[in-house]
Chain A
Amino acid sequence: MPKDGSGIALDGQGRPLWLVLELTYRCPLKCVWCNNPLDFQRYTSQELSTEEWKDVLRQARTLGSLQLGFSGGEPMLRDDLEELVGYADSLGFYTNLITSGIGLTETRLRALKEAGLKQIQLSLQSADRRLTNELTGARAHDIKLDVAARIKAHGFPMVLNVPVVRQNIDQVERILAMAESIGVDYLEFANIQYYNWALLNRDELLPSRAQIEHAEAVVQAARERLGQSMTIYFVIPDYYEGRPKACMNGWGTIHLTIAPDGAALPCQEVRVIEGLEFPTVREKSLAWIWNDSPLFRKFRGDEWMKEPCRSCSEKEKDFGGCRCQAFLLTGDAANADPACSRSPHHHVITQAIDASHSPERPKRPLIRRLRDAVSTEL
């Protein structure tokens, strides 16, 4: 998945350089921070067919897409994955698989290699079996370690993605050691972003400032020690930075996500914003959606900005932060991201941090990503 700070050195000149296909929202795991929609099951019957995905790939290449991530949900649940990877490779994409590892058997790994897959991003949730299994709601730990070893055995460049939360952040040192012994090329500690399931569980998941500072120091020391052998990313914990993330490098500038039902989105979370219309590739051409649709034009550039962003010198660096977070936490997607200390709504962030670490807060059980775990319609 594309992240801010991921080193995109190419100015897209208005092209969707970075394409993510969310092939399905189905998944055998039940991660408590999953950023998939709360009503993920609604999309199962609407998934694009193989031919429809191929058409998306053709159109996106014409628009100039270069980097391609197959994600989800769990992309291994699509049995046409190998076919789609092969087709994408033949079109000239640099293909990435973003997977939990579940279902990545030896046979399929070999088939993916033959199909031309370039890189694999595997998610791992902790350094010990009990915690991984608890956080993902399945016996996933040993499978993931086995998959990690086989990914390297097949010679794939490998990103290990570790979603960082209160429960696992103190294991950074041990996770680093694991990644080193696996031979990971890129290790990404992704402070999780609070949308969908993560937002539901925020009180229980948000690390403390002390935990984050400790983790950052450990990462810094490891960077110095490891040099070029492993690149380590530490995706910013925007709640604590006082600075918003440069979300998606700006709305509709280089990122394009296609959801399982064919909705073309400026980022994979955007359907949390109410009042927008989400055109799908079943109805419209990708070129029209990218260039002309009201959705992609809505927050492109900086015309839409309000104060304090409008007259702020940072606006070309952070684009006012994340529209989804602005909507979810302030009620208006055109507001400054409240993670910014200059936002008049910044207190919603500081209060959330305080509340989540208050000794008086009643403990709540974590809500797993499960069908009908929460009701999204009344």
Chain B
Amino acid sequence: MNQSASIEAARRPELKPMFLLRWEDTQAAYVLLYPEGVVKLNPTAAEILRRCDGQRTVGELTEELRALFSETPERVEQGVQKFLEVSYAKGWIRDRA
């Protein structure tokens, strides 16, 4: 397995306009709402997605996540990489033009 980062640090992901990310009391979680769907996010996923604002780079948001979680920097990076990959693939996020 190639462990190196596959999503470059300089990219600036942002939530696509039709997606709505917000806290939902009845689920005690962040939810992602979009046409035809609802996804409940676990705390890590929510922290990553909240930072996909088209301002922060992947590098910057990874740094912030490292400060937030107690796991090793490598594991946090892996987690971020994996989640961003999924989010791009699912079409939740895109690169800021």
Contacts and interface: CB of A to CB of B under 8 A. Distances in A.
A157 B18 contact: yes
A123 to B, nearest CB: 15
B83 to A, nearest CB: 14
Contacts of A185: 18, 35
Nearest to B22: A92
A9 B27 contact: no
Contacts of A10: 27, 31, 38-40
A186 B35 contact: yes
A161 to B, nearest CB: 11
A285 B36 CA distance: 27
Contacts, number: 57
Interface string A96-118: 10000000000000000000001
A86 interface: no
A119 interface: yes
Interface string A4-30: 001111110001011000000000000
Contacts of A6: 36-37
B24 interface: yes
Interface centre among A6, A10, A67, A159, by most B CB within 10 Å?
A: A10
B35 A159 contact: yes
Nearest to A17: B38
Contact of B38 (A66, A119, A157): A66
Contacts of A63: 26
Contacts of B91: 228, 231
Contacts of A137: none
Contacts of A8: 37-38
Contacts of A275: none
Interface string B22-56: 10101100010111111110000000000000000
A223 B63 CA distance: 37
Nearest to A6: B36
A44 to B, nearest CB: 30
A179 B26 CA distance: 37
Interface residues of B, number: 17
A94 interface: yes
B35 A157 contact: yes
Contact of B20 (A11, A15, A118): A118
Contacts of B24: 66, 92
A94 B36 contact: no
A77 B54 CA distance: 40
B97 to A, nearest CB: 15
Nearest to B89: A228
A159 B18 CA distance: 12
A159 B22 contact: no
A155 interface: yes
Interface in A114-168: 118-119, 121, 155, 157, 159
B35 A66 contact: no
Contacts of B31: 10, 66
A183 interface: no
Contacts of A242: none
Given A15-B26, A228-B91, A7 B20 contact: no
16 contacts: A7-B36, A9-B39, A10-B38, A15-B26, A64-B26, A66-B24, A66-B31, A66-B33, A67-B38, A118-B20, A118-B33, A159-B35, A159-B36, A185-B18, A186-B35, A231-B91
Given A10-B40, A64-B26, 15 more contacts: A8-B38, A10-B31, A10-B38, A10-B39, A17-B38, A18-B38, A66-B31, A67-B37, A94-B34, A118-B20, A118-B33, A119-B35, A155-B17, A159-B36, A185-B18
Interface of A: 6-11, 15, 17-18, 62-64, 66-67, 92, 94, 96, 118-119, 121, 155, 157, 159, 185-186, 228, 231
